[in-house]
Structure formats: C-alpha cells, structure tokens
Structure 1
C-alpha cells in the first residue's frame, strides 16, 4: 500500500504532466493542501520535496512552490542565441553574472581560440534564467584584445553579440557545437538549483566572425529537465 505522501506526490505529478497545473503556476500552501486532502502538513511537505527533487517544482523562500517550465526547445543553428529562443517561447529571460576576469591562455585554451599560449583571455561565467529559473550555467572565453576596454564594455552592454555590433565587428556565427551528458558537481547543482542526480547537458561551442576568426569558446551546462536541443541545418 502506498504511503500518503507517495500517493499525493503521484497525484500532483499527474496534474503537472497533464497540464492541470501549468508551468509557472503556484502550488497551494501546505496548510491548504493538507486540509483539502485530509493529510498532515508533513505529508504535503514530503510530497513537495519529492517533486522538487525530480525537477517538477521549485520552492522559493517566502513565495511558495511553483511548477517548473519544462521542454523549452533550443533550436541550434549558426546564429541562434538561447535568450532569444526563450523570449520567442514566451519565457522572460535574464542573466546573472557569476564572475568575470582577465587571465592567460594555457595550451588547450590557446588552441581552441586559435591564439598563442600565454595571451590574455577574458573569462566570464553567467547563469541564464527563464522566468527567474536557472536554465544554463556557461563560462565563455574571448581574446582579451578583441575589443578595446573589452571587459568593462561587455559588463556594461551585457551581451557579447550586441557588443560585437557596437564595435562594428558583425554577427557572431557558431562554428561548432559538441553535446554530452553527465551529472552536476556540487557547484553546478547549487547554481542551477537542480538535484545532484539530475543529468545535465554538457555543451562545448566555438563562435567565429564572418571572416572565420575565432572569437569565443564556451563551456555550458544545461538543465536537461528544462531544455531540449534541436539542431537545425544552416
């Protein structure tokens, strides 16, 4: 016989999967759901915890628990950008800076950026959010001498593609994308607010200008419970 919390979990899970509880919708407070189903608040709390652990809902202190938006499709082509994809699918996008620094390229990074070992490289790590929910954690590397006052201008503009246009360097084109899958480490789990047992999409991509010059190499991890990748032929 199923425990009360497991039965409640399955009922709520079914409501989410069938659309009776829509993405972004706030779930009833524990006390209200407890009275509605004739169970204790601890039972409701355990069911909510299980839903949070499997990625179905997200609990925000002081605000409640909300149904996670799932299955955002990211169609990857030569020029697509994830924040634009979110907006087109009705998801409000934003970004959160984790860190930004100028460092030197080791042999591997120099090869990826087609520059010389020891050259200055701008590194920037950001979280991309949709409706306030973390979707992607990405670290990007750029040749530091690409644009004058690069770091300050990128922090001001907030978008590399917009900065390229401001600097009259043209559009950013994707040269290559490689996708794998793995479990998150502790830092990734914390920043993406996902369980340690929830698989991530591990994505490595290289960006170039129209003249073929490599200007970006990035390593991103994506919450696979929220994102589906679709590759589009140019």
Structure 2
C-alpha cells in the first residue's frame, strides 16, 4: 500500500472529526486516536468555512427580505452560535471566569468546569457578541467567512506540538500537541488565500477587501496567540474551554479588520 493510500483515509477521518467536533453537522467520525485528532485540528478551518458559508447565506437572505444590516448581522451571529451549539461562546465565558478569578491554576480550572457563568463570563460574552454584530454589519458579506475560518485556524495553532494540555482528560488532552508546525503553516497559507479570494469575489468585495481578508487572518491569529500564551501561563496548558475562547477571540479580531473602511 502506498503512502497516499495510507494517508487519505486518515485525512478523511480527520475531516469528519473536525466537522463533528466544531459544528452540529451529524457526521460519523468513527474511532478517535491522536493521529485522527492531528488531522482534525489541522483541517479545522474547513469546518470554519462551512460555518461561515451558512452565516453569509443568512446575511444575503436577510438583506433580500429587507432586514437592516444590524438585524441581519445579529441573525448571522445567531446562526454561527447555533451551528456550534454555542460551545465556543461557553468556552469563552468559562475561560473569562477562570482567568478573571485570579486563582491558582487548579482552582481556576475548577471554576471553569462549573456549569454556571460568573460576572467575568457574562461581561465578556455581552461585549464579544456586541462587537461581532456591529462588525458584521459594517463588513462585506464575505467577512463572516473569513472570520469563521480564522477562528478555527486559531485551534490549529493552539494544538501544535509543544503545547500542553492543562488536564489529563478531556478534549484538550486528546488534541494538544498533535499538529506539526509545518502543517499549521500550510493551513495558514491556504486559509489566507481562501480568505482573500472570498473577500475579492464575494458580494460587495474588491481588491481592498481581498487585502483585508488576508490581513484579518493574521490579525485573528495574533489575538488568539496572545490569549493562548496567557492561558497556558496561568493554567499550565489548554482545555476545551481554552480552545473555544480562542475561536471567538480570533473571530472577533478578524471581523474588526474586515469592518475597516
């Protein structure tokens, strides 16, 4: 059996796992091991492309129905939350509560595992959603596609080698340290290229927006990298909540860039 024949099933299994982990699309992922997890996290931006395409469709349909840009943007944000079960927003709130507590790593992790949301989490969620809605209302339709892909690319980088898991169990333990750096670089290049093309050819797009699209990818990664370093320093590694928070942070930063006039 050739290398390609051995690799293709692993890639397909990883893609199915990425979609099943990062969206509500009912895809059967099959048995999960570290190899499958590696491909799933490397291909995470593909799941973002799916989420972003649905959100963009919501924007277009809302516009044709005569809804204002603000309402259309709110519906698009709602669609993205629905497609992800709100798990990334929940992770953002949990991480905000854990880091905001100022407690040592063990206690902060315990706070993050609680089902309730504290004041830090509520404030962070409200501000994040408000910024996302306002930015989408100002950005071209393709902006949500660029942002959704960038958010999942943040997960790819957060799971690269040498990034530890904060707990011995859970999603973080499964995916932490699985992605090779060269694969993360390749995923970034492809994501930036797709973002530029989407921004160039999408409704209301142009050359300026294509440049913004590629820039938004880098800005989203910069924001998520800063948060990742802080979270790893405070918690000792990544968890599923940390990954969710990185998604929303990167999405928000990318949207802010796409909203620039």
Shorter-chain TM range is: under 0.3
Q: Which has the higher strand share?
A: 1
Q: TM-score, normalised by structure 1?
A: 0.26
Larger CA Rg, structure 1 vs 2 = 1
Q: Which has the higher helix share?
A: 2
Q: Which has the higher contact order (CA 8 A, sep 6+)?
A: 2
Q: TM-score, normalised by structure 2?
A: 0.25
